[in-house]
Chains A and B, each alone.
Chain A
Amino acid sequence: QSVLTQPPSLSGAPGQRVTISCTGSRSNIGAGYDVHWYQQLPGTAPKLLIYVNSNRPSGVPDRFSGSKSGTSASLAISGLQAEDEADYYCQSYDSSLGVVVFGGGTKLTVL
C-alpha cells in the first residue's frame, strides 16, 4: 500500500479534461514537501511531467498542469489526446519514514 494514494485507473474521451488526485498526509504533502508527477508510456522509463507542484519542464505541453493544496495534489490534463494514454505517478518525500515516496500510479485510458 502506497503512502501517497492515487486512483488505480481513470478514463476519458479525446478532448476531455481529466484530473488525477494524489492524497498524502501531514508527514509528506501536508508537511509542505513538494509534489512531482511522472508519465510512463507503455514499455518506457518514467518521464518528469510536472515538478515542484505546478511547473512544466521544457517540452511538456501546457495541457498538463499541477496543483497542491493541504495534504493533496492533482494533475490535470485538458484536451485529452490518444498519446496521453499512460501510467501517471506522483512523488514526494515523507519525513516520518525518511524516504522518497511514490503514489501507486494511475492508468489513464483514452476512450
Chain B
Amino acid sequence: QLLLQESGPGLVKPSETLSLTCTVSGASISSSTSFWGWVRQPPGKGLEWIGTIDYGGSTYYNPSVKSRVTLSVDTSKNQFSLKLSSVTAADTAVYHCARHTLVKDNLFDFWGQGALVTVSS
C-alpha cells in the first residue's frame, strides 16, 4: 500500500518561505512511471494544483504560483519537497502531497493526509 506523509512547519510568517516535505512509503519514488504532486486547499475552499515533479527532477508548475514555487526530489530518502516563497495570508491552506499519474490518466490516486500551514505574523 502506497502511503504519503507531509511534514513541515505549521506556521510561517508573511514574506517568508513555506517548506514542506512528503515522505513516500510502499513504493520507490524513483519509478520512471511515477510523478509526485502537491495540491492545496484553503480553509473551507476547493482544491488547487500547485505543481508536479518526476523522479528525475523535471517539474510542472501551475502558472498562478510558478514564480514562487520550487519542487525537488531526494531519491535517497524517498522524499519530495515543496518550497513556496514570499507567502501571504492567501497561501494559508492544507497542503496535500499525492502521486500524480501525469502521463497516463492525469489524476491523483494516492494522497497524504495533508499539512495545515498558516501564514501569520
> Which residues of A are at the interface with B, using a C-beta cutoff of 8 A?
2, 33-34, 36, 38, 44-48, 51-52, 57, 89, 91, 93, 97-105
Contact = CB atoms under 8 A, between A and B. Distances in A.
Interface of B: 39, 46-49, 62-64, 96, 105-109, 111-114
A99 B62 contact: yes
Main secondary structure of the interface of B (DSSP, over half): loop
A57 B110 CA distance: 12
Contacts of A98: 63
Given A52-B105, A97-B63, A102 B111 contact: no
A100 B96 CA distance: 15
Contacts of A44: 113
A74 B62 CA distance: 26
Contact of A89 (B46, B63, B64, B114): B46
